[in-house]
Amino acid sequence: MDEELAALLAGAIGLAGAVLGAAVGGLASYRAAKRSAEVAARALAEQVAGQARYEQEQWVRQERRQVYGDINRAYAELAAALAALHTALSRRRPVQELVERVEERRLQLSVAVSPTAMLGPVEVHDAARALIGATDAFVAAYRELAVPPEAHEQAQPDAVRECVADRRADVHACLSNFSTACRNVLLRQGDS
């Protein structure tokens, strides 16, 4: 009977060991699977976040290119209107319609600059605002040339022409600064 009891005990211990081994193995397998799932979920979340960042950066880059291009086109239209006004003034032709066109183009440039406040960055917005200030002063100087002085005012055409030349130089410097700021931002974005 001792042999039967020993065999029974050995069988029970073997069964308990097998059940315990299966439980421990199953628990270890469960933990490993859980850890793998967590790692995979984190990796997926990081990938999705990275993709979202990339897509947002791409959208901002595209919008900035559009806005910067709109500003350059608006400035080109203003410059063309100013050139037409300059030609009419030098040929002593009527200029009222041209003065109005210049004012419209100046306002269009101001409107084109406004999105730089939202899209930035600050260096481009500041350069764009400086360009607006310079073009406003340039247009005002041209307006002085275009609008004849009142009878009681003394005409100073040479002083006004000198002012126009100074304002033109200011505009060219501001346009150059704006272009440089845009180029720096777009090239820097391309590296990221």
- Please give the structure tokens belonging to residue 162: 């000198």
Cα distance between residue 178 and residue 172, in whole Å: 10
Q: Which ranges constitute the DSSP H helices of the chain?
A: 2-90, 96-113, 116-119, 122-146, 157-191
pLDDT at res. 1: 61
**Could you tell me the pLDDT band of residue 8, with boundaries at 50, 70 and 90?**
confident
- Please give the structure tokens belonging to residue 129: 């605002």
Q: Which residues contact 129 (CB under 8 A, 6 or more apart)?
A: 113, 116
pLDDT digits (tens, 9 = 90+) for 52-92: 999 998 999 999 999 999 999 999 999 999 999 989 888 88
Q: Which amino acid is present at 120?
A: G
Cα distance between residue 188 and residue 159, in whole Å: 43
pLDDT higher than threshold 80 for residue 155: no
Cα distance between residue 96 and residue 85, in whole Å: 9
pLDDT at res. 6: 72
pLDDT digits (tens, 9 = 90+) for 97-153: 999 999 999 999 999 999 998 988 999 999 999 999 999 999 998 888 777 666 445
Q: Which is nearest to 84 in space by CA: 94, 74, 73?
A: 94
- Whichever domain contains 161, its CATH number is 1.20.120.330
Cα distance between residue 159 and residue 145, in whole Å: 10
pLDDT at res. 192: 46
Cis preceding-peptide flag for 121 (omega within 30 of 0)? yes
pLDDT at res. 149: 60
- Written as one string, the DSSP assignment of 66-111 is HHHHHHHHHHHHHHHHHHHHHHHHHTT---HHHHHHHHHHHHHHHH
Q: Which residue has the higher pLDDT, 158 or 121?
A: 121
Q: Which residues contact 150 (CB under 8 A, 6 or more apart)?
A: none
Answering whether pTM is above 0.95, one says no
- Please give the structure tokens belonging to residue 30: 């469960």
Q: Tally the domains of the chain.
A: 1
The residue segments making up the domain with residue 62 are: 2-191
pLDDT at res. 51: 93
